[in-house]
Every structure is written in structure tokens, then in C-alpha cells.
Amino acid sequence: MKVCTVAERQVLWEQARTACGLTEEILVENAGGAVARVLDDLCGARGRHVAVVCGGGVEGTVGLVAARWLACRDASVSTLLVGELDALGTESMERLRRAGGVVETEPTPARIAELISSADAVVDALGPMVDDAELVELFGAAGGPVLSVDLPAGVDGDTGRVGAATVRADHTICLGLPLRGTLLFPGAARCGEVRVGALSLPPALVHSPRVEVSLVSPPPLPTRPVDGHKGTFGDTLVVAGAASYYGAPSLAALSLYRAGGGYARLAAPRSVVPVVAGIGPEIVFAPQAHTDEGTLALSALEPILALCRVVDFVVLGPGLSLHDETQELVRRLVPAIDLPLLLDGDALTAVAADLDRISARVAPTVLTPHLGEMARIAGLSVAEVRADTVGVVQSTCTRLGAHVVLKGAHSLVGTPDGRVFVNTTGNSGMATAGSGDVLTGTIAAMSGLGLDLEGAARAGVFVHGLAGDLAARAIGEDGVTATAVLDHLPAAVRAYREDHATLTRGLEWV
């Protein structure tokens, strides 16, 4: 499913009018009906008291239409108008009145608060960017579920930024396609369950290639050959680890196995190998020279490149440390490796000041930064990245010719041609040390199972988040560790294989 900016959605509606004959009146009528159906499904409209608070713009007009639909379903509707309507909105208000509805114009804050607190359900049709914080705060006293039209009031539709006051909805009904603000945090946390009103838009518009952001829709996994051997399912070299960093290399290598990969080799400092071997006996070890501080030495360059000649995929970075010699080793390895390469953690820091080493690569590359690492790569502050995560991912991907996975709540997966996918699996319990190392191994496993790098990145992020969701379901979000996510990877991959269509269908249409 595509995810729009406000401007892109305006173009979509204009195309619906000009190319398909779907007037704004038709679209608004369908949207109001969708809002009413969702509320009726949730709590039953008949005999219920519903407060509908309408601002100006299309959201307010949809609210007026929804109020009429609800009244026709025998709900007791209190409709409050607090904004300026355009011609279509005025006509919609008149239709509501002719159907027996009452619209209160210019209600006092006390009146709004009274109706919101006493209603069985509340419809927020104010529109996303509302300057009146006092008005928005009144929704905090709602006695029943709150449904927002398109976006909760106070949320920016493009970035997910929130205003001084923001409606916290239980459900959000998007108009035709979801806006980015419904999926990007912090706005996403205010939206509750997100559904999409289909509005009878034709598929050619809904799937328009002009809209470059979509929900993650990872491809199905190829069938495992019944006569396969360990090399059939991917031979991956993980270059990772340093003294005091034993978990990162073990989690990265073991997650490859737990997600379905066949062969994990670990090039780690010789002093680290005995400890990691005790954690993961399935790992094939390639002990390397190390510095006095227990990090990979520059002299490991040629032995590691020799290993690269016999594997299919390379993971570089987990727990390598910021030691100067090791950082130089990474900078030399990146352009010299002519295989699909995943850069994570300390490897990202090593190349952040010399990104030509990435852009000059011929083989595909995927970077898996967290917010701070993304800021270093993009040459921006963390606040600047957070303000426009999609834009920063797009510009970084196209500039470097690489795939980028920006890790976090609703991770973003960007491609070299500027497309971005928003992942919706995962939970806050995964915000724990080592979770990113499990992700690197999961992406490598998806590649070993037969997906190209773009598909592997999208599937890896999705499956990793699904494993986290299964872990949280089993033990609670507060108890999730990277090892718990690792342990739930097999079940996540199994579910992904057996119920792919259901798991990846995206948001619900109404």
C-alpha cells in the first residue's frame, strides 16, 4: 500500500476528478460513509450518542457527512462546527440539517467539553494541523473511543511531528491512502488503529508509481529445495567482534541460522573466538590477528579478502569497536569486497567521513544505521534526521547507490532509486542492546534463502519485527531481549512462509 504526503494525496484526488469523473463530492461522501461504518462496527451506532467535532477543510466536510450517515443509522449525533467551511462543506451541512441533524456553530469550549465527555464515541474531524491547543486538549476528556478523520488533530501529515497539543485517537480513518504522518513517529503513536477508506479510487491511482513511499510488502520466500545442503541456503561471512564485544558477533551469526540460513563464518579477533565458540558452536570460525586492545588488526585485511572469495554475502561491523587500526581495516575492506555487503554498527562510523568508498562499489550494499549513525552518514544533526526521516533516507540511498535500513520504531527501508518502505512489525521491547545484530543476520539469511538484496532487506526487517512481536506476546515487551528475538526467529519465518498473504496485506480497507 502506498503512503502519501499531503501534496501527493491532493494530486491523487485531482486525478480522480479529472481522469475518472470522481468529483470531490463523491469522494467525501464515500469517506463519511467509511467513518460511520467503522464507528458502527466498533460500538454500534443505533441508540448511541456520538459527538462529531468539525473543523474547516475536507476533514470537516467528511465529518458532516459522517454525522448524517450516523444519524441515518439511528445514532444520536451532536455535530459541532468550529471552522470555516467551503462551498461543499456548506452544502454538506445543509444536507445534514435536512436529514434532521442539528449543527451547533461556534460552540463554547464548555459546550464542546460537555458533549465530548458525555458521548459514547467522538469523531475528530478537525483536520491535522490545528493551532487551537485548548480545543484539542478537550478531547482528552472523551468518555468513549475517539475516531480521527485522516489524521488526529495536531499531527503533521508529512512528517509525523506533533503540535503543542494533539488528539490521541483510538482509530484513524485515512482518506483514500494513508498519510506519512500516520506511520512516522511520534504522530503514529497518536493514531491508534489505522484503517483506510477505499473511496472507490481506481487501482491505477492507488498504486501510482509517482508515490515513492509504501508499506513494507516483502516478497514470499522461495521454497527450500528438498535436496539442499548448507551452501544452498547461503554462505555468509560475518566480520565482527572485539574484546568485550562478544554478544554482537554471536547474535549476528546465530540469527542467520535461526532465520533459515545455511552457513555462517565468523572472522573475529583470535582472542574473541573461544568465548563466542562457547555461545554458538554452529558457527564456523576464522580467527584473525588482533591489536593489543583485542580488536581486528590491519594485517587481517588479506585473510578476510581471501574468505570473501568463497562466500556469497558479507556482514561487516557488529561489535568491531572504534579502534583506529580496526576502523582503517574497515575502510579498506569496503571497496575491496565485490559481494553483496551489509554495513552495520562500527563499520558505518568508519566510512561516514569517506562515503565514496560506498558509492564506488559495484556490488549491492545495504547500510543498517540507527538514528545517530544515520546523522553521521548524512552529515546532519539527529534532530534534522528525525524531522525528515523519509527525505534523509531517500537522499542517502540515491547519493550512495545503496539500500538503507533506518532502524527504529517503524523502520524505513530505502532503495537506490529513491523508493522507501515503512515497516510496521516490531514493538518497543526490541529497543534493547543486540537487537540490531539480530537484524543483520536475519537480512543475510533472507539473501541466502534466495532473495535479492532489496527483497532481503524488506523481508529481514519484517521478519525481525515479527519475531519481536512473537517474543513480546510470549513474555511481555518489558522482558524482550535480543536473545528472545533470536529464539523466536524460527517461528516468525515459519509464519511468514505459511501465512505470507495475510501477514503482508498491510492496513485494513474500509
Q: Does 216 map to a domain?
A: no
Q: Residue 499's domain is classified under what CATH number? A: 3.40.1190.20
Do 204 and 235 lie in a common domain?
no
Q: Does 222 map to a domain?
A: no
Do 327 and 203 lie in a common domain?
no
Q: Does 400 map to a domain?
A: yes
What element of type H or E holds 316? strand 313-316
What is the chain's alpha carbon radius of gyration, rounded to the nearest angstrom?
Answer: 26
Residue 296 pLDDT level (bands cut at 50, 70, 90): very high
| Residues 6 or more apart whose Cβ sits within 8 Å of residue 130 | 55, 136, 153, 154, 163
Do 253 and 191 lie in a common domain?
no
* pLDDT for the residue numbered 130: 80
Residue numbers of the domain that contains 408 = 230-505
Do 309 and 266 lie in a common domain?
yes
Condensed to tens digits (0 to 9), the pLDDT of residues 357-382 reads 999 999 999 999 999 999 999 999 99
Do 255 and 337 lie in a common domain?
yes
Do 244 and 163 lie in a common domain?
no
Mean pLDDT on 259-288: 97
Number of domains present in the structure of the chain: 2
Condensed to tens digits (0 to 9), the pLDDT of residues 200-221 reads 999 999 999 999 999 999 999 9
Condensed to tens digits (0 to 9), the pLDDT of residues 142-198 reads 989 999 999 999 999 999 999 889 999 999 999 999 999 999 999 999 999 999 998
Do 191 and 237 lie in a common domain?
no
Do 297 and 349 lie in a common domain?
yes
| Residues 6 or more apart whose Cβ sits within 8 Å of residue 226 | none
Do 243 and 194 lie in a common domain?
no
Phi, psi angle pair for 153, to nearest 5°: -55, 130
What element of type H or E holds 257? helix 247-258
Q: Domain boundary residue among 157, 182, 211?
A: 211
* pLDDT for the residue numbered 78: 97
Cα 358 to chain centroid distance, Å, stands at 25
* pLDDT for the residue numbered 216: 95
Q: Domain boundary residue among 146, 181, 211?
A: 211
pLDDT at residue 128 tops 90: no
Do 204 and 257 lie in a common domain?
no
Condensed to tens digits (0 to 9), the pLDDT of residues 16-71 reads 999 899 999 999 999 999 999 999 999 999 999 999 999 989 999 999 999 999 99
- Distance, CA of 228 to CA of 289 (rounded, Å): 34
Q: Does 219 map to a domain?
A: no
Condensed to tens digits (0 to 9), the pLDDT of residues 380-422 reads 999 999 999 999 999 999 999 999 999 999 999 999 999 999 9
Q: Does 223 map to a domain?
A: no
Q: What is the DSSP letter of 376?
A: H
Do 326 and 468 lie in a common domain?
yes
Q: Does 1 map to a domain?
A: no
Q: Does 217 map to a domain?
A: no
pLDDT at residue 129 tops 80: no
- Distance, CA of 224 to CA of 261 (rounded, Å): 11
Q: Residue 120's domain is classified under what CATH number? A: 3.40.50.10260
Place of cell 500516520: 182
Do 182 and 297 lie in a common domain?
no
Condensed to tens digits (0 to 9), the pLDDT of residues 321-356 reads 999 999 999 999 999 999 999 999 999 999 999 999
* pLDDT for the residue numbered 508: 87
pLDDT at residue 94 tops 90: yes
